[in-house]
Amino acid sequence: MTNQSALLCLASLLLLLLLYGTDAKMIIVNTKQDVLVGEEILLLCKAGGEGEITWQKDGEDIDEEKVTVLDETSSKLLIKKATIQNAGTYTCVCNFETGHQDEVQRQLYVYEGPSFGGTKTYHEFLEGTDGVVPCLGTGQPAVDIQWLQGSQQIPTREGERLRQLPDNTLHIEKVRRDDAGTYVCQAQIRGRPVFQKLSVSVVVNAPPKVLLKEEVKKVMAGSETNVSLLCLVAGHPKPNITWTMPVTLDPSRHQFNSDQSQLTILAVARADYGEYICTAVNKIAEDSATIMLHVFEAPEVFVSAEQQSVLVGKRVSVSCNVSGHPHPDLHWLNKHNGQTLDMTSGRIHVMDGVLVIDDMMPSDGGLYSCMAVSSSGNASRDVVIYTQPGPPHYLSVSPGPTSVLFSLKTPPISGGQPITSYTLQWRQSSAEQWNNVTVPASAPLAITTLKPYTLYEVRLAALNAAGLGQFSNLNSVRTQGIREPDSPVLTPDEIKVKGNTFSTPLTQTDDGGLPLQHFIIRYKQDKEGAEWKELQLPSNADTISLKDLSFGSDYRLQVTAVNANGSSIPATLKFTIAEKPSSSLTMTKGSVVGIVMVIFFVVFLVVDATCCYRNRCGLLMSIAVKLFGQKVPGLKMLEEESGSTNGDVKLKGLSTPRGSMQQVGVQANTKEGGQLTEVTCDKAPLTKHEKTHPDRNQSAADA
């Protein structure tokens, strides 16, 4: 194989020689100048002319057996396995046939290596120590060593942190993390372009170092709160991280990232507080650090009841407790007046977180609040404490015909819950049981089933969720209702009497709830045995008029108003019709004379008739005798009448109405005035009559 390739080379060289050939030039052609021990060495000498070619090495002839003469102009020197000793200067000498001698020389180098033997290609150093990396480069004839970092030569100068020592060792002073990497040891056959490279890895180890971003972590507890604790670790090889926790590991709540440098706690609870220790370990050492986790809890308030109903006058207590971290302060607040309650706040006070109301009052009803106050927040919870409403005050009562309506100027104190309805009560007397009706608070507060025109006691009380409140004070009220009319009103001051007529105004104030039908007027003389006279007036009458009453009489009048329900109590009145005014008060002397003459005439007639009857004497007798003869009709009757009425004649005449008496008087005056002057027979009764006459006039005027 080698021979064939050598021949091929040679052939190509010969071709070159033909192309460039000059006839007298000698050359030695060889494959390479540096030959590894054991390799074949082939030298070809071309003389450029015919002659005898011989070989010398370092001036000494070479054994014939190693030399092959190819032809007249070239010779080949072949050494099968090169040794170090084969290195040297080879000379090809040609004695040309032309007689002159020429020669050409070629230097050949033979080497062994370079090799690195048992040089370690991996080194670990602890950070900060001095690192020594040997390079055991060997070879022949000699080897030069050079350390490289990348393409940079590592210097040999003293004082450099990284330097190559004279014994070809790489020395790293106080190894740093960034010194880690690959270094190359390059070995070169001295003076020749023959070298070998060896890569050596340098690893810098460091003990673990834990770095914390936060040593104290504060977080609010909560199901939505996650907290991450971060442990930053340096060191080589990469340390393993472990955590020590104040609670046992719960994989559902404790999550780690891939290198465990971050611990996430889900749904942080108060119990998670404490020291979290992060430990980093590698083969060099271990390190740890502590994170303090503070877990705050928002305050929470618990109350024993959110609604508490209590009867007026009773005691109520509501307990409250608070939780949270830091532990909150507890306060009770009366929300309707904003007052903070404590041990000293009296009837409504707080003892060990328990709100106590002694002797509940309607005005205590309302919202109370238990509050938790802490630096991590506030919380509160409201409690409704309620009782029955207070009694209604400021009410007015207005009656209807069969109803009573209450109106409240201000609603009663609610007691802490809305007033839903009112209970209305009524009775006719305190001996009776109360009747009840309950009406919604929005409806009219009316009792509607009462009897008309009846006196009732009524009262009401408000009702809420706690029950019925205290009743109002009693109110007495009379229903209007339907009834008899009130008595008509008569006014004695406005009576008018004119002669024997009477009138007075009539007023009706109250018809009793039904239209008036009429008035009944009754009147009679105010004396024993007098009969009532009755008449009706229409309901719209405003005057009572009576006519043709008796002069000089006292009367009694009764007026009654009537509706469908009955008659009123009668209104009564007394009045007097005066005596017919006497004409003597205005009589002339002539009329007095006339009256006297009539009296005389009557007396004369009486006397004459008496005379005539008893003694058959007198003027009448004489006239009768002249007219009828001895027999006189009616004489007997006249005699009987005058006998029974003896002494009463004057009284009868005076009791007749004045009008007719006057007429009689006038007739007597005109017809018989002339004749009376002749009557002279008995004067004694006449005198008596005259005396009584003025007395009667006087009494009539008085009346």
Ligand X SMILES: *[C@@H]1O[C@H](CO)[C@@H](O)[C@H](O)[C@H]1NC(C)=O
Residue 308 Cβ vs ligand X, minimum distance, rounded to whole Å: 16
Of residues 316, 319, 423, the one with CA closest to residue 366: 316
The SS3 assignment for 644 reads helix
For 127-273, strand residue ranges (E) read 131-133, 138-140, 143-149, 152-153, 162-164, 170-172, 181-189, 195-212, 216-220, 227-236, 240-244, 254-256, 262-265
Residue 307 Cβ vs ligand X, minimum distance, rounded to whole Å: 16
Per-residue binder mask for ligand X (CB under 6 A), 325-364, x = binder: ----------------------------------------
Q: 130 to 159, contacts with ligand X by CB under 6 A?
A: none
Task: Quote the CA–CA distance of 535 and 541 in Å, as a whole number.
Answer: 13
Q: Which is nearer to ligand X, 69 or 305 (CB)?
A: 305
Residue 214 Cβ vs ligand X, minimum distance, rounded to whole Å: 18
Task: Quote the CA–CA distance of 199 and 170 in Å, as a whole number.
Answer: 12
Choosing from 89, 98, 226, 340, the residue that interacts with ligand X (CB under 6 A) is 226
Q: 544 to 603, contacts with ligand X by CB under 6 A?
A: none
* 137, 184, 382, 430, 614 from 196: Cα distances, Å: 9, 10, 90, 135, 220
Burial class of residue 373, CB neighbours in 10 A (0-12, 13-18, 19+): middle
Task: Quote the CA–CA distance of 47 and 92 in Å, as a whole number.
Answer: 9
Residues 321 and 302: beta-carbon distance below 8 Å: yes
Residue 221 Cβ vs ligand X, minimum distance, rounded to whole Å: 13
The Cβ of residue 50 has, within 10 Å, a number of other Cβ atoms equal to: 13
Q: Which is nearer to ligand X, 2 or 228 (CB)?
A: 228
Residue 315 Cβ vs ligand X, minimum distance, rounded to whole Å: 19
Task: Quote the CA–CA distance of 364 and 383 in Å, as a whole number.
Answer: 12
Q: Which is nearer to ligand X, 31 or 319 (CB)?
A: 319
Residue 373 Cβ vs ligand X, minimum distance, rounded to whole Å: 5
* 1, 56, 100, 406 from 59: Cα distances, Å: 31, 5, 19, 156
Residue 251 Cβ vs ligand X, minimum distance, rounded to whole Å: 13
Task: Quote the CA–CA distance of 107 and 41 in Å, as a whole number.
Answer: 12
Residue 129 Cβ vs ligand X, minimum distance, rounded to whole Å: 44
Range in contact with ligand X (rule: CB under 6 A) among 101-109, 196-204, 371-379, 448-456: 371-379
* 35, 206, 244, 588 from 592: Cα distances, Å: 214, 174, 158, 6
Q: Which is nearer to ligand X, 148 or 354 (CB)?
A: 354
Residue 378 Cβ vs ligand X, minimum distance, rounded to whole Å: 4
Size of the site for ligand X (CB under 6 A): 9
Residue 322 Cβ vs ligand X, minimum distance, rounded to whole Å: 8
* 35, 72, 107 from 45: Cα distances, Å: 18, 11, 13
Q: Which is nearer to ligand X, 207 or 328 (CB)?
A: 328
Choosing from 60, 224, 640, 641, the residue that interacts with ligand X (CB under 6 A) is 224
Residue 274 Cβ vs ligand X, minimum distance, rounded to whole Å: 20
Q: Which is nearer to ligand X, 298 or 482 (CB)?
A: 298
Per-residue binder mask for ligand X (CB under 6 A), 467-506, x = binder: ----------------------------------------
Q: Which is nearer to ligand X, 373 or 482 (CB)?
A: 373
Token reading at 499? 């002669």
Cα atoms in the 13 Å half-sphere on the side-chain side of 490: 23
Sort residue 590 into left (φ over 0), alpha (ψ -120 to 50) or beta: alpha
DSSP 8-state secondary structure symbol assigned to residue 155: P
Cα atoms in the 13 Å half-sphere on the side-chain side of 280: 26
Q: Which is nearer to ligand X, 80 or 270 (CB)?
A: 270
Task: Quote the CA–CA distance of 449 and 599 in Å, as a whole number.
Answer: 81
Token reading at 620? 């009448």
Of residues 380, 424, 375, 382, the one with CA closest to residue 403: 424
Q: Which is nearer to ligand X, 340 or 428 (CB)?
A: 340
Exposure string of 240-262, with b = 16+ CB inside 10 Å and e = fewer, is ebebebeeeeeeeebeeeeeebb
Task: Quote the CA–CA distance of 665 and 657 in Å, as a whole number.
Answer: 12
Residue 349 Cβ vs ligand X, minimum distance, rounded to whole Å: 18
Q: Which is nearer to ligand X, 226 or 428 (CB)?
A: 226
Token reading at 510? 């109250």
Q: Which H or E run contains 113? A: strand 101-115
Give Cα 559 distance to the centre of its chain.
71
Q: Which is nearer to ligand X, 254 or 696 (CB)?
A: 254
Range in contact with ligand X (rule: CB under 6 A) among 10-18, 200-208, 372-380, 575-583: 372-380
Range in contact with ligand X (rule: CB under 6 A) among 83-91, 343-351, 373-381, 643-651: 373-381
Residue 290 Cβ vs ligand X, minimum distance, rounded to whole Å: 24
* 120, 251, 263, 429, 631 from 280: Cα distances, Å: 30, 21, 14, 98, 188
Q: Which is nearer to ligand X, 187 or 301 (CB)?
A: 301
Residues 308 and 316: beta-carbon distance below 8 Å: yes
Q: Which is nearer to ligand X, 219 or 408 (CB)?
A: 219
Residue 301 Cβ vs ligand X, minimum distance, rounded to whole Å: 9
Q: Which is nearer to ligand X, 319 or 403 (CB)?
A: 319
Residues 263 and 227: beta-carbon distance below 8 Å: no
Range in contact with ligand X (rule: CB under 6 A) among 197-205, 370-378, 600-608, 625-633: 370-378
Choosing from 49, 274, 377, 552, the residue that interacts with ligand X (CB under 6 A) is 377
Residue 319 Cβ vs ligand X, minimum distance, rounded to whole Å: 6
Residues 646 and 609: beta-carbon distance below 8 Å: no
Q: 257 to 296, contacts with ligand X by CB under 6 A?
A: 266
Q: Which is nearer to ligand X, 184 or 367 (CB)?
A: 367
Residues 551 and 580: beta-carbon distance below 8 Å: yes
Residue 255 Cβ vs ligand X, minimum distance, rounded to whole Å: 7
321 contributes a contact to ligand X by CB under 6 A: yes
Q: 402 to 461, contacts with ligand X by CB under 6 A?
A: none
The Cβ of residue 270 has, within 10 Å, a number of other Cβ atoms equal to: 13
Helices 589-615 and 635-644: angle between axes, nearest 10 degrees: 110
Residue 272 Cβ vs ligand X, minimum distance, rounded to whole Å: 14
Q: Which is nearer to ligand X, 226 or 622 (CB)?
A: 226
Q: Which is nearer to ligand X, 374 or 508 (CB)?
A: 374
Per-residue binder mask for ligand X (CB under 6 A), 67-96, x = binder: ------------------------------
Residue 376 Cβ vs ligand X, minimum distance, rounded to whole Å: 9
Q: Which is nearer to ligand X, 299 or 365 (CB)?
A: 299
Q: What angle do CA 558, 559, 564 make, to 5 degrees?
A: 135
Residues making contact with ligand X (CB under 6 A): 224, 226, 266, 302, 319, 321, 373, 377-378
